[in-house]
């Protein structure tokens, strides 16, 4: 480009001497000789302002009106209350309650019945405390980090402290999530909260009888924000990188079960074994309680799986059916395996088998046929029996209540079989064993490494284990000064 000399260059309007009143750009009092330039400037400015207003209007229209116009929202938004599906909302509300029942008192009783008498109260208290802690953290940061669009790795901050989860009676609008625009966002957030709670509560089973109560709360608090929320974002938020890779996880095979299982195993390794482990029998307090807990888990899992359809529709019905079939198959085949190996079945085996079947069907519940569910449950029953016996001896970790053996192994089995058995005519999307393998590996690695780091941090901050005398006395007395009745 040939540079023009000074004389040839077009001269810009000289308005530097004028005081431009930007509130009235079309008028400049002090420089009448420059009126033309100022008026041009004013028009230009006005044009820019109008453009900005128009752009703002378009953006607001997209933000608030896209649902009404039938456009698919890509982030949480306000929608007309008439756009909410009442049946879907009622079902997800019910499912939320069912999943919360799985924790309180399902998991509490399931674990409390298996532990030694002197530690039952501590186990129950741990589950209750974790439910409260995770609720508060979810409200504060967890939901926003997990389920708002942000980037591939983590959600944004739009919903910190549940900001924007609005119900506006006067304007007839209610906040909805882009993931479930048929539901009020408060219902969606609560449903996801129930998952966050139970995932954290599962970990208790690996650390019971020796972990400090304060250490457990610190660890779970950090874990729910730094491990659970990111993994949930990766798998369940449409912008998450594992979701974009095509990893299928209908209700939490990897997010909940593999995550909790691996975390439990790592915690068991870091804590070390209980005193007397492998030398003396650790008599369960009351397997009747375990059975009651298992029953609550079985029934509650209908909310866990069928509720994950986020609608009261055919997919939810299918998820319910395959959940039942897988639970029954898991119980039956675990019982068979135990009968062959040990010579007799057991109540604990039946309860463990049904949970194994439920865990394995979790990632596949909305994608597979009932026959596939039978296979998944059967494989899980046998695999998890091995996971809690032979594999447990190989791993040589005192995973007290076999969190990894049931939830970790069951989640891995279910996630991989989802890649094999998912039916595109049901799911509407292709499945890939490679993608499932990748998802499993990523969750295992991230969960394992972060759990180890957080356990180290917790050890530095508060310590991890009770002293030997407290462990011998029992955590009920030593940590809580409470005792079961005589």
Partner 1 sequence: MSSSEKIALAARMHVLLRRKTGRVTDTEWMASNAEYAAEIVRFSHDYAATENHPDLAELADKLSCLMLPPPQSRPTYKKPDLIPVSQGLIRYVKGLR
For residue 319, what are the β-bridge partners? none
Output 208 or 227, the one with its CB closest to partner 1. 208
The SS3 assignment for 401 reads coil
* Residue 439 Cβ vs partner 1, minimum distance, rounded to whole Å: 28
| Min separation Cβ 412 and partner 1, Å | 18
Closest approach of partner 1 to the CB of residue 284, in Å: 7
Phi, psi of 211 (to 5 degrees): -95, 140
CB of 168 to partner 1, least distance (A): 52
Residue closer to partner 1 (CB basis): 164 or 273: 273
How far is residue 311 from each of residues 85, 303, 315, 404, measured CA to CA in Å?
9, 11, 8, 31
Name residue 167's beta-bridge partners.
Answer: 174
Q: CB-wise, 211 or 450, nearer to partner 1?
A: 211
Residues shown for the chain? 486
Six-digit token string for 237: 């938020």
The C-alpha R_g of the chain, in whole angstroms, comes to 29
Residue position matching structure tokens 């309680």? 289
Nearer to partner 1, 124 or 222 (CB): 124
**What are the residues binding partner 1 (CB under 8 A)?**
114, 277-284, 338, 341-343, 348-349, 352, 385, 388-389, 392-393, 401-402, 405
Helix (H, G, I), strand (E, B) or coil at 78: strand
- Minimal distance in Å, beta carbon 109 to partner 1? 15
Shortest Cβ 181–partner 1 spacing (Å) = 44
d(CA 437, CA 200): 24
| Closest CB 355 distance from partner 1, rounded Å | 12
Q: Which is closer to partner 1, CB of 241 or CB of 386?
A: 386
- Nearer to partner 1 among residue 69 and residue 283 (C-beta): 283
Please say which residue, 292 or 406, places its beta carbon nearer to partner 1. Answer: 406
Least Å distance, CB 388 to partner 1, is 4
Minimum distance, C-beta of residue 343 to partner 1, in the bound complex (Å): 7
Q: Is 447 exposed, middle or buried (0-12, 13-18, 19+ CB in 10 A)?
A: buried
CA 340 to the chain's CA centroid = 38
**Of 291 and 452, CB closest to partner 1:** 291
Q: Which residues of 184-216 are buried (b: 16+ CB within 10 A; e: fewer)?
A: bbbbbbbbbbbbbbbbbbbbbbbbbbbbbbebb
Residue (372 or 388) nearer to partner 1, CB: 388
Contact of 376 with 417, CB cutoff 8 Å: yes
Task: Measure Cα distances from 377 to 13, 314, 389, 427 in Å.
Answer: 80, 21, 18, 19
d(CA 72, CA 289): 47
């Amino acid at each position: 480009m040939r540079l023009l000399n000074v004389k040839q260059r077009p001269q810009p309007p000289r308005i530097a001497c004028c005081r431009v009143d930007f509130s009235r750009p079309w008028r400049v009092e002090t420089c009448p000789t420059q009126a033309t330039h100022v008026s041009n400037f004013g028009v230009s400015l006005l044009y820019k302002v109008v453009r900005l207003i128009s752009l703002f209007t378009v953006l607001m229209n997209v933000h608030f009106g896209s649902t009404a116009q039938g456009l698919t929202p890509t982030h949480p938004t306000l929608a007309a209350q008439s756009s909410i599906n009442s049946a879907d909302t009622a079902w997800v509300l019910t499912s939320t309650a069912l999943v919360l029942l799985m924790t309180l008192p399902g998991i509490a009783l399931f674990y409390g019945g298996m532990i030694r008498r002197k530690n039952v109260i501590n186990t129950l208290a741990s589950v209750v405390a974790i439910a409260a802690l995770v609720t508060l953290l979810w409200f504060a940061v967890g939901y926003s980090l997990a389920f708002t669009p942000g980037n591939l790795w983590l959600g944004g901050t739009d919903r910190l402290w549940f900001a924007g989860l609005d119900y506006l009676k006067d304007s007839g609008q209610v906040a909805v999530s882009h993931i479930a625009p048929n539901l009020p966002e408060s219902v969606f957030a609560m449903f996801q909260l129930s998952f966050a709670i139970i995932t954290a509560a599962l970990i208790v089973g690996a650390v019971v009888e020796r972990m400090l109560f304060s250490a457990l709360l610190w660890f779970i608090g950090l874990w729910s924000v730094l491990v659970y929320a990111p993994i949930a974002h990766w798998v369940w938020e449409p912008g998450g990188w594992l979701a974009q890779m095509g990893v299928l996880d209908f209700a939490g095979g990897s997010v909940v079960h593999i995550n909790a299982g691996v975390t439990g195993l790592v915690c068991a390794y870091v804590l070390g074994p209980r005193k007397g482990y492998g030398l003396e029998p650790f008599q369960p307090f009351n397997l009747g309680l375990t059975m009651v807990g298992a029953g609550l888990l079985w029934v509650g899992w209908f909310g866990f799986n069928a509720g994950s359809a986020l609608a009261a529709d055919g997919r939810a019905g299918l998820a319910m059916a395959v959940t039942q079939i897988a639970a029954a198959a898991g119980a039956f085949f675990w019982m068979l395996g135990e009968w062959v190996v040990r010579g007799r079945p057991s109540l604990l085996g039946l309860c463990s088998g049904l949970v194994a079947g439920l865990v394995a069907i979790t990632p596949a519940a909305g994608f597979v046929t009932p026959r596939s569910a039978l296979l998944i449950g059967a494989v899980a029953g046998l695999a998890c029996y091995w996971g809690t016996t032979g594999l447990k001896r190989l791993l040589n970790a005192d995973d007290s209540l076999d969190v990894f053996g049931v939830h970790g192994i069951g989640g891995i089995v279910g996630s991989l079989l989802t890649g094999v058995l998912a039916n595109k005519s049901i799911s509407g999307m292709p499945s890939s064993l490679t993608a499932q393998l990748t998802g499993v590996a990523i969750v295992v690695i991230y969960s394992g490494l972060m759990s180890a780091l957080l356990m180290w941090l917790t050890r530095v901050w508060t310590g991890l284990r009770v002293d030997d005398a407290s462990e011998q006395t029992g955590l009920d007395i030593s940590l809580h000064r409470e005792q079961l009745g005589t």
